[in-house]
Amino acid sequence: MGAGKKVKNAAKTTKGKVKETTGKAVGNESLEAKGRSEQALGDAKQALQKGKDALKH
């Protein structure tokens, strides 16, 4: 996996976790949901990139 893409996807996942936690702390369900979806997107992109890498080798 390209190092840049790996870091970018990990950052998106982390950012989503922060949003979800903040949303829970302040009682903002919308922010919490956005955080969960951002985490899922980051995880999906990482999985896709790993699959691409597996096919290359």
The domain in which residue 14 lies consists of 3-56
pTM of the model: 0.79
Percent with pLDDT over 70 in the chain: 95
Half-sphere exposure of 38 (CA within 13 A, CB side): 19
The total number of structural domains that make up the chain:
1
Mean pLDDT of the chain: 90
Tens digit of each residue's pLDDT (9 = 90 or more) over 15-27: 999 999 999 999 9
Burial class (CB in 10 A: 0-12, 13-18, 19+), 16: buried
How confident is the model at residue 53, as a pLDDT?
Answer: 81
Q: What is the mean pLDDT of residues 44-48?
A: 91
Q: What share of the chain is helix, strand, coil (3-state, %, to 5)?
A: 90, 0, 10
